Structure 1
Amino acid sequence: MRFASLGSGSRGNSTLVEWATGALLIDCGFSVKDTEQRLLRLDRRAEQLAAILVTHEHSDHIKGVAALARRYQIPVYMTPGTFHSRNLGELPDLRLIHAYTPFEINGLTVKPVAVPHDAREPAQFVLEFAGLRLGILTDLGSITPHVEACYQSCDAMVLEANHDPAMLAYGSYPPSLKQRVGGQWGHLSNQQAAGFLQRVDTRRLQHLVVAHISQQNNTPALAQAALMPVTSQIKQVTYACQNEGFDWLTLV
């Protein structure tokens, strides 16, 4: 199994996952044309996708989902809350995720995870194939015991470190938006991400990708400084960016 990113941040998010018998996107926050170009950068095409998984309805995650699905006849998986939160038009193959029940796509086991975020029925995902576990965990404002339990013993993880609390507090966002981002239903700070890594079993972790880093309220350097004390034993730590995401990372 391997994974890469088309882009990570408030202007668009999409993660590409590939395994022996298929490939899928988690979210598509870019236009169809932009998505096609970003896939080509990773030597892949939309025709090769077996599915699109949607985490929630915010535009930086769902902007291109419906149009891409229609153009290439791709099945789309999302919760009922996400589906009913906005008018996506006709989808060629909608598959609703009920009660966060696990399901399979071409031999890949997908485990949806309920998270606290200011969306209708958000889900993050743990993917399993051939004994390997990839955890995708962004867009949540706090870590619940359920989240900690679901992300134990991953072989790779994409983890949000969205903001530095001081930058957020003294930045240009209006007070209401600062409260939303920093609240329990918003986004993880660098320190929350570090605390989460302290509490989960990371002994199997081959790759940690630090993602959804705010361009207004954080910097890769600040995220790295906060996480360094808890990432020294992880084999490879990658910091995703908005424009290029990150290149292929392979699990062995």
Structure 2
Amino acid sequence: MRYASLGSGSRGNATVIDYQQQCLLVDCGFSRKVILERLTQLNLDPAQLTAVLVTHEHGDHAKGVQTLCETLQIPFYASFGTARKMDWLSHPLWHCIRSEEVLTLAGMQVLPVVVPHDAQEPLQYVMSNPEGFKLGILSDLGSLTPHILQHYAGCHALQIEANHDPQLLQVGPYPPSLRARVAGNYGHLNNHQCAELVQRIHWPGLKRVTAGHISEKNNNRTLVRQLLAPVLNCTPDEVTLLEQDKVSEWYSLA
């Protein structure tokens, strides 16, 4: 199993997971054109995509889902709340999923996990392959809960959110109402919460952590590196951060 980010940030998010040349896409917050171009950069044929998993309805995660899936004639999976908000309830390619009901897609087990975020029934995902390797994808949540810590413990790889620095958010360009939303329990993880998450579920089998959804206006990538390096037992330069406008390399679990 391997995975790569097609872009991560407030202007769009998408992650591709490949298991034996069958691929899942988690979120499609870019246009169909951009997604297809970035898949090509990873030497993937779009025909290898078998489904799209949607975390929630916000545009930076869902705006390209329907068009991409209709073009490729593949299903997309989302909660009832997300589908209702996106007007997908009668769409023939939509499949309803529920928290903690495991799916089998592209040869992998997919566990949807409910998270605290200001959306209608948001979900994040933990993927496992038959060899027992587990990848956790976790973005767009405002606080850590025992439920999240339980389900993301034991992951061999994590792709997580380090959205903002609390001080930079307070002096940044956002109006007070938006600052309160981002910093609230149903907003986004700040750098300290990201580091706390890693520290609390760290175990010897955790081999790869990538941090994404980094705000371009309310964060500093150096700060993210400095906070994550001690909990990952590495230097700041070795901390892997995802980028908004650039495809990442492939990260393998083996």
TM-score by shorter chain over 0.5 = yes
Distance (whole Å) between structure 2 residues aligned to residue 218 and residue 160 of structure 1: 12
Question: Secondary structure of the equivalent of 1:118?
Answer: coil
Distance (whole Å) between structure 1 residues aligned to residue 240 and residue 66 of structure 2: 30
When residues 245 and 8 of structure 1 are mapped into structure 2, their CA distance, relative to the original with a 3 A threshold, is: farther
1:73 positional shift: 0.4
Q: More displaced, 196-205 or 117-126?
A: 196-205
1:131 and 2:132 matched = yes
1:21 positional shift: 5.5
Describe how 1:104-123 pairs up with structure 2 within 5 A.
Answer: 104-123=104-123
Distance (whole Å) between structure 2 residues aligned to residue 239 and residue 25 of structure 1: 19
Number of equivalenced pairs: 251
> With structure 1 as the length reference, what TM-score do the two structures score?
0.96
- Counterpart residue number, 2:173: 172
- Counterpart residue number, 1:155: 156
- Counterpart residue number, 1:205: 206
- Any gaps of 5 or more consecutive residues in structure 1? none
1:238 positional shift: 1.3
1:219 positional shift: 1.7
Q: What do you get for the CA RMSD once the two structures are aligned? A: 1.5
1:87 and 2:87 matched = yes
1:22 and 2:22 matched = yes
Measured against aligned partners, the alpha-carbon deviations of 1:176-202 in whole angstroms (never above 9, x if no partner) come to: 000000100000000001111111133
Distance (whole Å) between structure 1 residues aligned to residue 242 and residue 99 of structure 2: 31
- Any gaps of 5 or more consecutive residues in structure 2? none
Question: Secondary structure of the equivalent of 2:205?
Answer: coil
User: Aligned AA for 2:209?
Assistant: L
Question: Secondary structure of the equivalent of 1:247?
Answer: coil
Distance (whole Å) between structure 2 residues aligned to residue 211 and residue 231 of structure 1: 16
Distance (whole Å) between structure 1 residues aligned to residue 16 and residue 136 of structure 2: 13
Give me the identity figure in percent: 45
Question: Secondary structure of the equivalent of 2:86?
Answer: coil
1:158 positional shift: 0.1
Distance (whole Å) between structure 1 residues aligned to residue 99 and residue 196 of structure 2: 28
- Counterpart residue number, 1:243: 245
> With structure 2 as the length reference, what TM-score do the two structures score?
0.95
- Counterpart residue number, 1:76: 76
Measured against aligned partners, the alpha-carbon deviations of 1:100-150 in whole angstroms (never above 9, x if no partner) come to: 411111320000001000000000000000210000011000000000000
